[in-house]
Structure formats: structure tokens, C-alpha cells
Amino acid sequence: MKKVKLIYNPNAGDKSFCSSLDACTGIFQNAGYETHLLRLQPNLDLESEAECFRDYDLLVISGGDGTVNTLLNVLPPGNISVPIAIIPSGTANDFASHLKIPKLPEEAVTALLNGEIISSDMGIVNGRYFINVCGSGVFVNISELVDDSAKDTLGKYAYYLKGIEQLPGCIPFPIRIRTGGRVIEENVFMYFVLNSSGVGGLTNISPQASITDGVFELIAIKAMPVMELAMLFLKLRKGDIYDDNRILFLKGSSFYIENLSSDSQYAATGVDGEKGPDMPIEIKNLPGRIKLLVPKEG
């Protein structure tokens, strides 16, 4: 019998996944999988637990982007042959949204088991792996600013409201980007280096993004009057970015990004919704590095 390791974060999102745990386990068992559970909790020695992950036919992660990121960084060494599947149970679930995984856990499991395995790109930034995004500036670290009660009540809309709340205090900062032999200096409010099409609950910022093309898309919002930024935020939601001269758009397999401000607060980055390394950062695409079980298109 095949074996699946179901790793779940009981505190992800609205904390409702636990009520679907038995049903999801039943679906796996009916599909011929012996199901082993791992509940994520404080003080869990996840690196020790990960040593046996190679013994499974499938690893399933229930949680948000941050939970997925945590698991990727304990898998030895960010390159494991066992396919990984995601049950989206966090607040925003940007990467799972890109993969078009259903939001209801039981529907997600059914779609995944009827899906296909693909080889997906992932990234590494200053030695840390990520699956979806690395960036800096307003909106990038919104998940750290939104309190848990707001996430429970409002879901991803808590991110939008917090982002709007931050707009009046937005100050652009200077960065230098090196990629593909080019050097670009720009004052920006934020930048994202994206693997998928969305970040921070905005699921379609970069509609052309692909997780299998070996390159990332860098989107930077240039300095402008704050009221223009508020309107541009609506364009970001629609993915209408490619012909707007207020947006810097680059594609590349690697980026070296420096903070040119004397204020160290602008050096902070976010990685998959969690705190990332301070700039300068070196980001590299690792093409086809991870196997994902995803729903079939159409």
C-alpha cells in the first residue's frame, strides 16, 4: 500500500481544517493510501521528522504559504524526489491559488488525487528556499502586520484593508537591481520577485507568470504620489501591469538587489509571507527543483 504523510498546521487560516481531517483521511484511504499524520506545533523538531519523509510516496501540506515555506526549508536539501501536494488552509494561499487547488479541503484532496505530477521551479535567497515570492516594501510584509483575529474574521480581505491603511505613510526607497548584465536603480514603494501569479491575497498580479519556465518575474512599483498608488493598487488586483510606466517589470533567472537607503528599515524583505533576509539579497531560480501534485487543467 502507498503511504502519504499529511502534515497540517492546526492554526492556519480560520483553524477549520481540523474539522475536515477525518474526511480527508478517508479520501486518501479510499484511494489506496496508508495515511500518517503530523501535527505542526511549537517546539516540534521538524528537521528530525523530515528525515523519514523520503519513505513516503506523497507529502501533503495543509496550511498557508508560510507553512509550505517552513517545510521546504527542512527537506534535505530543498531537493526531494517525493511529490508534494498542498491543501490550502491558510489565509491567502497565493501559491495554491495559482495552482487552482480548490479551497474546500475535501474537494482539494479529490482534485489532487485525480491530478498530475509536474516539476516546479522554486527559488533560493541568501541560502533560504522559497516557493512563491521574495520582496520588500509596502504590502510585502502585510501578513506580519495583520493580527490573527482579523485574519479569522475577514480572511484575505484583512490584507487588503491593512494595505490601504498603510498607504498614507508610504515612503519610496532606492534600490539597485542587477540581472542579466543590466544594472537598474529606481526609487520604489515595493518590489516582488514572483514565481507564481500572486502575492498577499492578490492572486492575479502577474497573469503571465509560470512556475515551469525557469525564470522569475520582478515587479516593482515606482515612486509616485500616494493617491496614484491607491489607484494603482486596483490595477494590481486585475493584473493590468504590463503597459504601465509606473511599474518596472523584469524577467530573469537571477537577481541581486541592494538597498541604497541609509535607513536600515528598508533593507527588510518578506519570503512567502514570512520575514526574510535583509538586503542585499541574491535570488536564484532553481528550475524544476521540486515535484508537485496538482489538479489537471480544465
CATH for 49: 3.40.50.10330
What pLDDT, on the 0 to 100 scale, is given for residue 141? Answer: 52
Q: Are strands 2-8 and 182-194 parallel, antiparallel or unpaired?
A: unpaired
Instruction: Please tell me whether residues 244 and 101 are part of one structural domain.
Output: no
Instruction: Please tell me whether residues 31 and 142 are part of one structural domain.
Output: no
Residue 57 has pLDDT above 60, yes or no: yes
Q: What is the mean pLDDT of the chain?
A: 86
Instruction: Please tell me whether residues 168 and 36 are part of one structural domain.
Output: no
Q: Which domain holds residue 245?
A: 130-286
Residue 256 has pLDDT above 90, yes or no: yes
Mean pLDDT, to the nearest integer, of 131-149? Answer: 67
Query: pLDDT grade, residue 155 (50/70/90)?
Result: very low
Mean pLDDT, to the nearest integer, of 9-22? Answer: 90
C-alpha cell at 125: 535567497
Instruction: Please tell me whether residues 68 and 154 are part of one structural domain.
Output: no
Query: pLDDT grade, residue 140 (50/70/90)?
Result: low
Range in 85-99, 133-147, 218-232, 276-290 with the lowest mean pLDDT: 133-147
Range in 38-47, 115-124, 202-211, 226-235 with the lowest mean pLDDT: 226-235
Residue 268 has pLDDT above 50, yes or no: yes
Instruction: Please tell me whether residues 195 and 98 are part of one structural domain.
Output: no
Q: Give dist(CA 129, CA 77) in Å, integer.
A: 9
Residue 151 has pLDDT above 60, yes or no: no
**How many domains is the chain partitioned into structurally?**
2
Neighbours of 100 (CB within 10 A): 12
Q: For 203-241, give one letter per residue: b (16+ CB within 10 A) or e.
A: bbbbeebebeeebbbbbbbbbbeeeebeebbeebeebeb
Separation of CA 241 from chain center? 20
Q: Give dist(CA 193, CA 215) in Å, integer.
A: 10
Residue 34 has pLDDT above 80, yes or no: yes
Strand partners, 34: 3
Mean pLDDT, to the nearest integer, of 234-259? Answer: 88
* Residue whose C-alpha cell is 489538479: 295
What pLDDT, on the 0 to 100 scale, is given for residue 154? Answer: 37
Mean pLDDT, to the nearest integer, of 161-180? Answer: 74
Instruction: Please tell me whether residues 64 and 113 are part of one structural domain.
Output: yes
Q: What is the DSSP letter of 215?
A: -
Instruction: Please tell me whether residues 134 and 247 are part of one structural domain.
Output: yes
Instruction: Please tell me whether residues 135 and 280 are part of one structural domain.
Output: yes
Q: What is the DSSP letter of 243?
A: T
Query: pLDDT grade, residue 31 (50/70/90)?
Result: very high
Give Cα separations from 37 to 28, 78, 256 (angstroms). Answer: 12, 21, 39
What pLDDT, on the 0 to 100 scale, is given for residue 91? Answer: 74
Range in 87-101, 142-156, 173-187, 202-216 with the lowest mean pLDDT: 142-156
Instruction: Please tell me whether residues 214 and 246 are part of one structural domain.
Output: yes
Strand partners, 3: 34
For residue 136, which of 176, 86, 97 has the smallest C-alpha distance? 176
* Residue whose C-alpha cell is 504590502: 139
Q: Are strands 116-125 and 128-130 parallel, antiparallel or unpaired?
A: antiparallel
Instruction: Please tell me whether residues 139 and 247 are part of one structural domain.
Output: yes
Q: What is the pLDDT of residues 67-89, one digit of tens each?
A: 999 999 988 655 578 999 999 99
Specify the pTM: 0.88
Instruction: Please tell me whether residues 135 and 52 are part of one structural domain.
Output: no
Neighbours of 103 (CB within 10 A): 13
Kindly tell me the sign of the dihedral angle through the C-alpha atoms of 136, 84, 156, 213: positive
Pinpoint the alpha helices (H) of the chain: 21-30, 46-50, 65-72, 94-98, 105-113, 142-145, 148-154, 157-166, 226-238
Residue 150 has pLDDT above 50, yes or no: no
